[in-house]
Amino acid sequence: MFKIKPALAALGLIAALAGPVTAQNLFAPVATVNDSVVTEFEVQQRVRFLQILNARGATRKAAIESLINERLRGEAIRDAGLVLSDEGINAALEEFAGRANLSRAEFTSALARAGVEAETYRDFVLNGIAWRDLIRARYGSRVTISEAEIDRALSSQSGGGSNIRVLVSEIIIPAPPPQAARVAALAEEIAESTSTAQFSDYAREYSATATRGAGGRLPWQSLSNLPPALQPLILSLAPGEVTQPLNIPNAVALFQLRDIEETGKPEKTYSAIEYAAYYMAGGRSAETLQQAANLKAQVDVCDDLYAFAKGQPESVLDRETRTPAEVPRDFAMELSKMDEGEVSTALTRSDGQALVFLMLCGRTAAQNAEVSREEVAASIRQRRLSGFADSLLSQLRAEARINIK
């Protein structure tokens, strides 16, 4: 099971485990990339940094490959004359540190105590930011999204259109604040999954949803049942592709498209969703999860929850009726999988200290729903830019003189 310790404690642990670094041959070349050298020191630093982030690929081999790719990207960035502004650099470093609820200075200081130089953190973050800027500048004008493509993506929102069904796999990883940075790193790794089998392996190991045992695999469902914000993201994927990590309260979610089809049947959409959320102290502890399982066996409809909430503060039970767009995104994701009277215990609130016993009370049918054309176009554009980025990196590797010692 994936267990995450508080960020600063983990940094101390890595420092203790790593032990002293031998000065001998620290700057010996490990690989050469054209006229650039990757040193032993850089490899050790990258491995240690990835260990601190709790990334699964924190191996020597993976670190060398990552540094080789960064050298190639760096050459392309310099050749293009791309320079990040001071404001952009500071914003990027602050944002990355903020994933651990730390300021840039606090994060740098914690890394130093674990033996990681500030330059290692800086290079890791800024190479990725500059590469994304280069890809947008180089290929942005070549990515055009036709109105017909957007119309197809939005066809499922038309009351008279064909219904689009999707096969999706899901992963939701709990990420209370002390764990946020390392879960973010893990989620970025999962987003690179190249097969449904690999994604399912991640789901079995890390996901908190009821589909964990099935490798995160959901059955066929209408696209319109998914949260409005998620629909264009799913439509922008090709089968086998994974969304970028989606931040939700105290967790990170990822989705993989396995298949998509048009059924030819009229689509069913909803104007309102009614649900109840009962908050149970103890978060995802074994005791609270067992209490939730016991409660699940005793309730059939949302009204039954009032008896269990009786005598407690009113804040322990929320019952809401909202439009699909108004439902909190993490609630909407879970509710999309439910029939009336079904329950989810995958989510938490209060920084992970309260388990959400979420129950679908009912849905109100509507003629159609709206999805932003701009969101659909942006999602398709991002997927195509990612394809250009992968293609350019492959070309750079093929043309480069790479020698691993």
**Which among 141, 172, 192 is the end of a domain?**
141
| Judgement on whether residues 234 and 286 belong to the same structural domain of the protein | no
CATH number at residue 196: 3.10.50.40
| Judgement on whether residues 262 and 280 belong to the same structural domain of the protein | no
Amino acid identity for residue 281 in this structure: A
| Judgement on whether residues 275 and 250 belong to the same structural domain of the protein | no
Separation of alpha carbons 332 and 273, rounded Å: 9
pLDDT tens readout for residues 30-83: 999 999 999 999 999 999 998 887 766 678 998 999 999 999 999 999 999 999
| Judgement on whether residues 383 and 255 belong to the same structural domain of the protein | yes
Q: Closest by alpha carbon to 316, among 357, 259, 287?
A: 357
Range of the domain at 306: 269-366
pLDDT at 342 over 90: yes
Angle between helices 104-113 and 7-18 (to 10 degrees): 30
Residue 89 within a domain: yes
Question: How many domains would you assign to the chain?
Answer: 3
| Judgement on whether residues 95 and 161 belong to the same structural domain of the protein | no
| Judgement on whether residues 13 and 129 belong to the same structural domain of the protein | yes
CATH number at residue 99: 1.10.4030.10
| Judgement on whether residues 133 and 189 belong to the same structural domain of the protein | no
Supply the DSSP string of 94-163, one letter for each residue: HHHHHTTT--HHHHHHHHHHTT--HHHHHHHHHHHHHHHHHHHHHHGGG----HHHHHHHHGGGSTTSEE
Global pTM exceeds 0.75: no
The residues with which 195 forms a beta bridge, in sequence order, are none
Residue 260 within a domain: yes
pLDDT tens readout for residues 378-387: 777 877 888 7
pLDDT tens readout for residues 388-405: 888 898 899 899 999 998
pLDDT given at position 149? 66
pLDDT given at position 18? 44
Residue 224 within a domain: yes
**Whole-Å CA distances, 206 to 4, 200, 263:** 11, 10, 33
| Judgement on whether residues 126 and 152 belong to the same structural domain of the protein | no
| Judgement on whether residues 285 and 358 belong to the same structural domain of the protein | yes
For the chain, the first-to-last Cα distance in angstroms comes to 36
| Judgement on whether residues 54 and 131 belong to the same structural domain of the protein | yes
pLDDT given at position 171? 95
| Judgement on whether residues 247 and 213 belong to the same structural domain of the protein | yes
| Judgement on whether residues 303 and 264 belong to the same structural domain of the protein | no
Residue 401 within a domain: no
Walk across the sheet containing 246-248 and list its strands: 221-222, 162-174, 251-266, 246-248
SS3 of residue 310 by DSSP: coil
Residue 216 within a domain: yes
Residue 36 within a domain: yes
The residues with which 174 forms a beta bridge, in sequence order, are 251
**Which among 90, 110, 141 is the end of a domain?**
141
Question: How wide is the angle at C-alpha 214 spanned by C-alphas 210 and 218, nearest 5°?
Answer: 75
Would you place residue 371 in the very low, low, confident or very high pLDDT band (cuts 50, 70, 90)? low
pLDDT given at position 144? 81
Residue 395 within a domain: no
Would you place residue 179 in the very low, low, confident or very high pLDDT band (cuts 50, 70, 90)? confident
**Which among 124, 141, 158 is the end of a domain?**
141
Residue 2 within a domain: no
